Structure 1
């Protein structure tokens, strides 16, 4: 339970961050627990996180602001281990270095700054730019479906149930409007809610393997298919067409032979 000082301080900070949110950041406390805050970071331009929707939590101690919160990011990003506590100078890993003057906005700006750097710490991971862009493209799907687990999730969001497996229930309970926008986005972009991949319409253009050549198949497989196609082509053509060069040579030979015989006879 929050102390009176923490209750007063966090109430004031919620008002402040609602009226003047930092760039790329939105946050609010849970209705059931003012010590449990939920944030969404929108990936900034010119970063591999651009357009990504990164949801996480700040769990404040009852004696805040005299101790820092536990910081987690639940959405896979290629930068942090999902739902793991992050070791930062502004997190509960370093209570002695925390400054009581720092506010929720200060903490989240610091998290965003660290996210867009390449520094490593407990809870962070190393990934390529392509991998981070991949996670960014799937982030909205992941948040609202619990990583596709919505198809089998039977229980609603419970205390601490903040990760893939709850069918997106916790995200939906904290961000109902954002969740509705995500589902609309998935419908408009034809996203398979089970996998997060774009649905390919039947009969639509495809860049997949042709002629029965399996993706990653060997060169021998390719040659076998090409040979089969040639055989099918030849089977539909006559003997004369397939042997036209031989016939042409024979005709020329016979013509020359007849010409010589006629020449010798006239002489």
Structure 2
């Protein structure tokens, strides 16, 4: 349970951050627990996270602001292990270094700054820029579907990651509870982009070929005639069929002709040998 000082301080900070949010950051406390805050960081331009929607939590101690919160980012980013406590100077890993003058906006601005750096710590991971960009494209899907899960059960905590951890597979229930308006926007966005709710990737339409245009062009012409590789294969098959059919019909004639030719040659050779001996 939050102390009176913590409740008063966090209530004031919520009013401040709602009125003047830091760049690329929005945050609010849970309706059920003022010590549990939810934030969304929008990936800044000119970073691998550009346009990504990164959801996480701050779990404040009852004696805040005299002790720092536990910081987690639930959305896979390629920068942090999802739903894992992060070891930062502004987190509960370093309570002695925390400054009571720091506010929620200060903490989240520091988290964003660390996210866009390459410094390593407990809870961070290494990934290529390409991998992080791919993850950024799927963040809305991950948040609103629970990584493709269709279950709408209550979110489950991970025993291995502590209180406040979010597991994929809750059908996006926890995110939907805390961010209903954002979730609605995400669902609309996924419909417009034709995102497959199971995979998070765009759904191929009937008019789209699963292979490249260059390969598709080798298959058939618009009028349906065979061309390219298909024509070669088809032509070869026709030739083989024709050859096998002709041989099947004339195999006895061929055998007799071969035998007759052999007899003629044998006689000629025999006559030549007899003349030479005489």
Name which one, 1 or 2, has greater alpha-carbon Rg: 2
Gaps of 5+ in 1: 213-223, 238-267
Is 1:23 the counterpart of 2:28? The answer is no
CA deviations over 1:13-46 (Å, ceiling 9, x no partner): 0000000000000000000000000000000000
Q: Structure 2: how far apart are the matches of 1:20 and 1:187?
A: 32
1:104-115 residue pairs with structure 2 within 5 A? 104-115=104-115
Does the 8 A contact of 2:144 with 2:183 survive in 1?
yes
- Corresponding position of 2:76: 76
- Corresponding position of 2:257: none
Does the 8 A contact of 1:158 with 1:170 survive in 2?
no
Is 1:190 the counterpart of 2:194? The answer is yes
Q: Structure 2: how far apart are the matches of 1:194 and 1:128?
A: 24
Does the 8 A contact of 1:142 with 1:148 survive in 2?
yes
- Structure 1 runs, 4 residues or longer, greater than 4 Å off: 158-161, 208-212, 224-227, 232-237
Do the aligned partners of residues 202 and 114 (structure 1) sit closer, same or farther apart at CA in structure 2, a change above 3 Å counting?
A: same
Q: Structure 1: how far apart are the matches of 2:104 and 2:59?
A: 11
Q: Structure 2: how far apart are the matches of 1:3 and 1:60?
A: 11
- Corresponding position of 1:156: 154
- Corresponding position of 2:258: none
- Compute the displacement of 1:156 (Å): 2.3
Does the 8 A contact of 2:152 with 2:172 survive in 1?
no
- Compute the displacement of 1:63 (Å): 0.2
TM-score normalized by structure 2? 0.76
CA deviations over 1:93-146 (Å, ceiling 9, x no partner): 000000000000000000000000000000000000000000000000000000
Gaps of 5+ in 2: 158-163, 220-228, 243-278
Q: Structure 2: how far apart are the matches of 1:139 and 1:33?
A: 26
**Alignment length, in residue pairs?**
225
- Corresponding position of 2:116: 116
Does the 8 A contact of 1:77 with 1:136 survive in 2?
yes
- Corresponding position of 2:65: 65
- Compute the displacement of 1:162 (Å): 2.1
TM-score normalized by structure 1? 0.79
Is 1:51 the counterpart of 2:51? The answer is yes
CA RMSD across the alignment = 2.4
Q: Structure 1: how far apart are the matches of 2:64 and 2:238?
A: 80
Q: Structure 2: how far apart are the matches of 1:51 and 1:154?
A: 27
- Corresponding position of 1:129: 129
